[in-house]
Structure 1
Amino acid sequence: MKLHRIKLVFLCLFICSGVYAQSTSATLIKKVDGFSHPESVVFNDDKNEYYISNMADEIAGDGFISRVSAEGEIIELKWIDGLKDPKGLLVKDGKVYVTNNTEVIEISIENSEITKRIEVEGAKSLNDITADAAGNIFISDSGKSAIYLIPNDTPNMLMVPENEDGDIIEYLNTTRLEYVNGLYAHKDYLYAAAWGENTNGNFLKIDMDTREIEKVSKKGIGNLDGVQPVGDDAFYISDWATGTIYLIEKDGELKEVLTSEKSSGDILFDAEKNQLVLPMNFQNSVWWYQLQ
């Protein structure tokens, strides 16, 4: 028991110290095929399993969500099906939230069924989804260069209009978001991986209260897709166009970590295993990399 506690303390110190921010090389350790244009990966700690969104082909209703074990084995390929271009995933309070073209879907994990569909009026192509510490949910719209908000029921400090019906609010709508793709809420900011108008999307920081937008990157990077935090000081971001994964510091310093292939989407960083999980859209596969 004493040795076990020492190991736990060491692991906590290792993670909290920002050691992972030094991981700028990686080795491909696993490929799992059989998906259909996978876009996003999240992990459910309570169930010890991954959920993977599959955009499938351009046919309404052929999209689906897969369940995959912690070891990377497909448990249920079409766990939830009948979707249209599902992309971003969020695990929150026993539910999975999915951006599904122009609507947000709520799935009960326990019952394996869709419990709510929220149509987003005016949306063009909903993409990533994230929640802040207060329970507010933010959703990117890459087609519209906008961000939507589902406010938490409890009072919070965000400056938003009255929303007694619990509807989705258009939080930001500006080309300064550079056709925002990936989103991650961290403390008082939203961090955004921008697709850009061509291949010059920046990594952005948005003050949640004032909605002020600031460029973190020193110049355009690429068609940015996924964003994952590395402690408090850095992020892993993916460039869909080249398959390159970068480590970017909060001061904008950029380091290349690995290059996979074109179409690496909304990545997942597993801090405990020090691994990156990449949904590979064109390859119909999910790739695991061990960071070093």
Structure 2
Amino acid sequence: MISGCKRIFFSIALFALCYSATSLAADSNADNIAAKLTIIEDVGFKTPESIEYYPAEDVYLVSNINGNGLTADGNGFISKIKPDGSVIKLKWIDGNQSGVVLNAPKGLAIQGNNLYVADINQVHIFELPSGKQKTSVKIKNSTFLNGITPGNGHFVYVTDSGLKAGKKSYAPSGTDAIYKVRANGKYELIFKDKNMGHPNGITVDGKELIVVTFMSGEVFRIDAKGKRHELPKPPKGDLDGLLKLDDGRLLMSSWGASALYVLNEDNTYSILADSLEAAADLGFDTKRKRVLIPLFNENKLVFLQL
């Protein structure tokens, strides 16, 4: 945490326990593993939604919605920070700058020398390391582009969470889908189903895609033929970020549980960390083996050492 010019570390219990996917009953003989969270706050973040590690410069990039996630207000921005939490430039890419289109940026993905940004109904492509905008790809009939992940080539996959403005908050738009977006600006539909459950986080696993949903709290695979295969459902939903760890396990953030869940290879769930309200799209620092967590409602970042 950066507060009063000091870095403060908070300890939480990380549970290395295997739970059943329905009850999460803990083994009383298992030992808890103590770990420390670094929390970065009071530096100017405005609704941070996603964080991505950029190895070439050893920095973190953070998307800031800065307002309503559906409003094309031109004030979204992307921050560049150091791994120690200090800010290099708060508005490194700024929607208010001339020549930049950035409204409500959500998921971030780096593929090659390009930074891809999901933004309402567009995917913006920025050149790295300069941050100069190359193009914006408008995806027809999309309403809430959200999660994004690099593909095995010069393209990314992006989810449309299928949301629109409602009376109180958001309402279903029926556009739930997954798209492939190429560096040349072309895109194609991979999977679409209005009953998908509002897909959010997404990652590549070989020739398959793994997806978590926000409203229905489901986890599933999309195989190379475009067929959906269900995976065990975690105890609580509102799933957002998704990572595939080096050992093959899946790590996901749950707003419903205010926690990070791990889906183990034996199809049981563990809680990796809790007391994380509105943990959004996750990133991973491959150099430090650190999970990067934006706290959507609190304008904070959390770094969790594995």
The runs of 5 or more residues in structure 1 that have no matched partner are 1-18, 154-165
Q: Give the counterpart letter for 2:58 in structure 1.
A: N
Q: Give the CA deviation at 1:27.
A: 2.5
Aligned to 1:72: 85
Q: Give the counterpart letter for 2:249 in structure 1.
A: A
Q: Give the counterpart letter for 2:222 in structure 1.
A: I
Alignment of 1:213 onto 2:228: yes
Aligned to 2:37: 28
Aligned to 1:225: 240
Residue identity over aligned pairs, in percent, reads: 26
Secondary structure (helix, strand or coil) at the match of 2:46 reads coil
Alignment of 1:181 onto 2:200: yes
Match of 2:178 among 118, 141, 147: 147
Q: Give the CA deviation at 1:167.
A: 2.5
Q: Which moved more, 1:214-223 or 1:98-107?
A: 214-223
> In structure 2, how many angstroms separate the alpha carbons of the residues matched to 1:55 and 1:257?
27
The runs of 5 or more residues in structure 2 that have no matched partner are 1-15, 19-31, 96-101, 163-174
Distance change in 2, residues 1:75/1:152 (3 Å): closer
Q: Give the counterpart letter for 1:168 in structure 2.
A: Y
> In structure 2, how many angstroms separate the alpha carbons of the residues matched to 1:212 and 1:152?
26
Matches within 5 A, 1:105-184: 105-143=124-162, 144-150=175-181, 167-184=186-203
Aligned to 1:204: 220
Does structure 1 conserve the Cα–Cα contact (< 8 Å) formed by 2:236 and 2:257? no
Distance change in 2, residues 1:255/1:190 (3 Å): same
Secondary structure (helix, strand or coil) at the match of 2:136 reads strand
Distance change in 2, residues 1:238/1:219 (3 Å): closer
In the TM superposition, structure 1's runs of 4+ consecutive aligned residues that sit over 4 Å from their partners are none
Q: Give the counterpart letter for 1:119 in structure 2.
A: K
Q: Give the CA deviation at 1:142.
A: 0.4
Alignment of 1:37 onto 2:47: yes
Q: Give the CA deviation at 1:229.
A: 1.2
Q: Give the CA deviation at 1:118.
A: 0.8
Q: Deviations over 1:21-74 (max 9, x none)?
A: 9x9764323323320000001001011111000011135111111111122211
> In structure 1, how many angstroms separate the alpha carbons of the residues matched to 2:255 and 2:189?
26
> In structure 2, how many angstroms separate the alpha carbons of the residues matched to 1:250 and 1:215?
15
Does structure 1 conserve the Cα–Cα contact (< 8 Å) formed by 2:109 and 2:156? no
TM-score (norm 1): 0.80
TM-score (norm 2): 0.77
Does structure 1 conserve the Cα–Cα contact (< 8 Å) formed by 2:112 and 2:154? no
> In structure 2, how many angstroms separate the alpha carbons of the residues matched to 1:220 and 1:46?
38
Aligned to 1:245: 260
Q: Give the CA deviation at 1:251.
A: 4.3
Distance change in 2, residues 1:54/1:152 (3 Å): closer
Q: Give the counterpart letter for 1:202 in structure 2.
A: E
Secondary structure (helix, strand or coil) at the match of 2:41 reads strand
Q: Which moved more, 1:107-116 or 1:212-221?
A: 212-221
Q: Which moved more, 1:37-46 or 1:227-236?
A: 227-236
> In structure 2, how many angstroms separate the alpha carbons of the residues matched to 1:44 and 1:94?
10
Distance change in 2, residues 1:249/1:79 (3 Å): same
> In structure 2, how many angstroms separate the alpha carbons of the residues matched to 1:152 and 1:110?
16
> In structure 1, how many angstroms separate the alpha carbons of the residues matched to 2:208 and 2:35?
28
> In structure 1, how many angstroms separate the alpha carbons of the residues matched to 2:229 and 2:266?
12
> In structure 2, how many angstroms separate the alpha carbons of the residues matched to 1:220 and 1:132?
29
> In structure 1, how many angstroms separate the alpha carbons of the residues matched to 2:195 and 2:233?
15
Aligned to 1:268: 283
RMSD value over aligned CA atoms? Answer: 2.3
> In structure 2, how many angstroms separate the alpha carbons of the residues matched to 1:212 and 1:26?
39
Corresponding pairs, count: 255
Q: Deviations over 1:264-292 (max 9, x none)?
A: 1001233442322110111011111223x
Does structure 2 conserve the Cα–Cα contact (< 8 Å) formed by 1:218 and 1:252? no
Q: Give the counterpart letter for 1:287 in structure 2.
A: V
Matches within 5 A, 1:93-108: 93-108=112-127
